[in-house]
Structure 1
């Protein structure tokens, strides 16, 4: 680990899982070369003040437009080094994202989720007869409910079948969920996106936002709080995310984030984009 790099694990479940992100304090030199020597995600700080943060995000092989995991890691690092506002504007890839500090965790605004009913044959992906919806902020995802946590964990994705179903329904990803979960989670889910370049993702902020919209549609959001916790159940890489929501006339407005904790031993590997 170099002196200008700090490594964080974002959205860990207990003491493991989540995504590892290298945070670099500057954006000088060949960023792709620097990222190739770091973690699966690397984020470079181009500039920062009390209310704004400018970032460049890379995998070991290419620059990404944006990443919520990278933003949460960078915000956590920045707030440990200087005083910052509880409301931040994060600039990545030519876009600006709103972030807020909530209970010691950074959450990013995902937007207002809209949900529609959909009919499709789910037998090719092994989920025949299960309830389903489409949900979107920008990109639409197919959302399917299964009976319980055991069924969720046992599900085996078929990338080709999921891709064909997404094309048939005009969606870009698949979210499979069930209410409840470990450590008193409000909902558990898995996120699949062969059309997005990954089979399964470990921590998916926007796809979770889409799921929260569905929970609002079917009346499964908490009524005594505007917060919930979600357990993402990718095998071998569990994550825990925090959601703040507001039900509006147009849909459900959602913010998603969670913890980022220091990770002492960076390693080189590859992960999917979020």
Structure 2
């Protein structure tokens, strides 16, 4: 593209929720054919900054093929870029997809407000997905089915059957499936995987909403460290591991004021 082409914009490439996580292209302007730019960005997500100052941030989020509306992963990358440039405060509001979401910088990580999470035990037949045990439901606006597995080997060996998971979600009036174990390879408090064929994906590499739901279940079950108001999770989609942080207040029925996010790292500077 020529320098005076309105579609010629600078894209900054960020990796969020390392060690692998997701790649996000952050565009400093939201002008021209945004869908074309997103398709050329060589990233699964593109965040276009419409406006940013110390009162808040406005974003538009695209995949290479459609406008996504909202994405916490994309927002974390955009916030990291804007804060490093001195354009925003460490506490702000993010407008995206017609919603306003609170955001805060905590310990070098951007966290976005997920809200209050309610959790409850649920009767469910898990045999169609090859599992057994106690099921829970948790919601921060969208209910998910949450199931504990005994160890990392079981978690990593699970092979999702989209049809079976979809049927189970319909039977339990939930929209996604979260499998977790309290075992971890690093300093994380929990390891998990997140599946959502009814939401349009088989498995997500880094899901803030699902980690918020899991946090509510852990709090309700007394599975968070005593006195903890922050936990770290390892999301273990094969080949795309991510680390997320949740900040919360334990309640008897889940967790209140849950914030979820993580680190974002500038990886390269490219011209879209």
Tell me which of 130, 142, 149 is aligned to 1:139.
142
* Structure 1 residue 37, shift from structure 2 partner: 0.4
Matched, 1:19 2:25: no
TM-score relative to the length of structure 1: 0.92
Pairwise CA distance, 1:120:
1.1
Q: 181, 200, 203: which one pairs with 1:200?
A: 203
What is the TM-score when the length of structure 2 is the normalising length?
0.93
Aligned-residue CA RMSD in angstroms? 1.7
Show the counterpart of 1:64: 68
Stretches of structure 1 lacking an aligned partner (at least 5 in a row): 269-274
Return 5+ residue gaps in structure 2 as ranges.
1-7
2:238 aligned with 1:235: yes
- Asked if the contact 1:112–1:250 (Cα under 8 Å) also holds between the matched residues in 2, the reply is no
Q: Distance in 1 between matches of 2:269 and 2:90?
A: 29
Shift of 1:251: 3.7
Question: How many residues are aligned here?
Answer: 263
Question: Residue in 2 aligned with 1:271?
Answer: none
For 2:54, the equivalent position in structure 1 comes to 50
Q: 1:226 aligns with which of 224, 229, 233?
A: 229
Residues 51 and 87 in structure 1, CA contact (< 8 A), matched pair in contact too: no
- 1:161 matches 2:181: no
User: In structure 1, how many angstroms separate the alpha carbons of the residues matched to 2:242 and 2:99?
Assistant: 26
Distance, in Å, in 2 between the alignment partners of 1:98 and 1:210 is 18
| Displacement after TM superposition at 1:50 (Å) | 1.4
